[in-house]
Homo-oligomer: A and B are copies of this chain.
Amino acid sequence: MCKRIFMLLCLSLLLVPAGAQTTSPTALGRQEFPRIEKDGRVTFRIKAPDASGLSVSLGKDYVMSRDAEGVWSATTEPQVEGFHYYSLKVGGLSFTDPAVHTYYGTGRWCSAVEVPERPAAAAFYTPRQGVPQGAVRSVRFYSKVCGEYRRMYVYTPAEYEQNPGKRYPVLYLQHGGGEDETGWIYQGFADVILDNLVADGKAVPMIIVMNSGVAHRAGNPEEDAFEDLITQDVIPLVDKRFRTLADRDHRAVAGLSWGAKQAYDLGLGHRELFSAVGGFSGIIVIGEFNVRNPGFQDPGKFAAAYDGVFRDPKWFNDNYHLLFISTGEAEGSLLSQMSALLRERGIDNVYYASPKTAHEWLSWRRSLYEFAPRLFKW
């Protein structure tokens, strides 16, 4: 997690005039590269006198050029603001850049660069002196569903340990495809966002539970067991080990991208467990998994989905406190269309679009910042 603190440190120093040249907050210690240029292009540099044919892959491949001392460099096209995974490449082989921290993304430990917001508006996910800090706990547990030891991260708010008699609501929060339970802390700064929101009186103190969304059934590793993992192993364990308010009114679920689908499946499929659902940059999948989502468009399938949760819009609106849908503006209109279609069908929902950002963590930090203050005030 050292990556995290360096990134936080750098972000806090990044409250610089719009458009200044700066080092990516993902860089290690005293590295100068990757360097974010004034116009959002990113320059990468690596010393490798004996290598040949180096390139950097960030959205597309950029051939690096070698100087007389064997230092290779390349500058990309301008990148949208936010957090982007990338690789260095040689001979078709992708590898991490030793100049930066690694993040679990793309199914492995991977390099990333962060193009800061301009003008800098990062305060909501950077630590502030004087703001009481919650704790992020690493909780190891044996999952009967998966037949294996697993690990979750559990955030408890700063006041949790000062109030041994008080119970708290719980948000279950999922990462995206190729990531794991570390994502919302290292890439997402969920703990910092909540610390700041709570200190500012904007959000109710809550527990946040983060699990890996990759879960295989014990004895049948081809079968996805995520829903059972959460409902049969994780929720009972969290309600036993932490001082939770263990009812649906005090339990929410959210996720991003693939994790948004999982959040919808959990939240809409288990009305007995959850009363609020958030999907960041991801779709409600009804029937076939397809981004155009033909099942979702079909009124019959729509009404039958999730054991009929949408059949009676009044029932839904009375019983679900929040259905929250968000996207990055640069992702296109798919999710605004989904939100509008739900409204047409009488299903209340809150829609948020993150200005200028893409399918990446700045969109999701902002989504959490918009989502969390709406929770548990009903």
Asked if B101 contacts A109 (CB within 8 A), the reply is yes
On chain A, which size bracket covers the interface? 35 or more
Query: Which of B91, B102, B161, B191 has a CB less than 8 Å from the CB of A51?
Result: B91
Complex Cα gap A90–B90 (Å)? 8
In the complex, which residue of chain B has the Cβ closest to the Cβ of A221?
B30
Chain B residue nearest to A98 (CB atoms) is: B108
The 7 closest A-B pairs by CB, nearest first: A51-B91, A50-B92, A95-B95, A5-B151, A48-B93, A102-B109, A135-B137
Contact sample, A vs B, 7 pairs, CB 8 Å cutoff: A1-B138, A1-B182, A28-B108, A48-B91, A102-B102, A102-B109, A136-B138
Which residues on B sit within 8 Å (CB–CB) of A207? none
B-contact 0/1 string along A21-41, CB 8 Å cutoff = 000000011000000000000
Q: Which of A142-150, A308-316, A331-339, A342-350 lies at the interface?
A: A142-150
Instruction: Write the A146-169 contact mask toward B (1 if CB under 8 angstroms, else 0).
Output: 001111010000000100100000
List chain B residues, Cβ under 8 A from A88.
95
Given the complex, which residues of B lie within 8 Å of A96, measured CB to CB?
Answer: 95-96, 102, 109
The minimal Cβ–Cβ distance linking A305 to chain B, given in whole angstroms, is 31
Task: Confirm or deny: A12 has a beta carbon within 8 angstroms of a beta carbon on chain B.
Answer: yes
Q: Which residue of B lies closest to A133 (CB)?
A: B140
A245 CB to closest chain B CB, in angstroms? Answer: 17
Mask: chain A, 247-263; 1 = CB below 8 Å from B; 0 = not? 00000000000000000
Residues of chain B lying within 8 A (CB to CB) of residue A1? 1, 138, 151, 153, 181-182
Given A101-B109, A135-B135, A137-B137: A149 touches B8 (CB 8 Å cut-off): yes
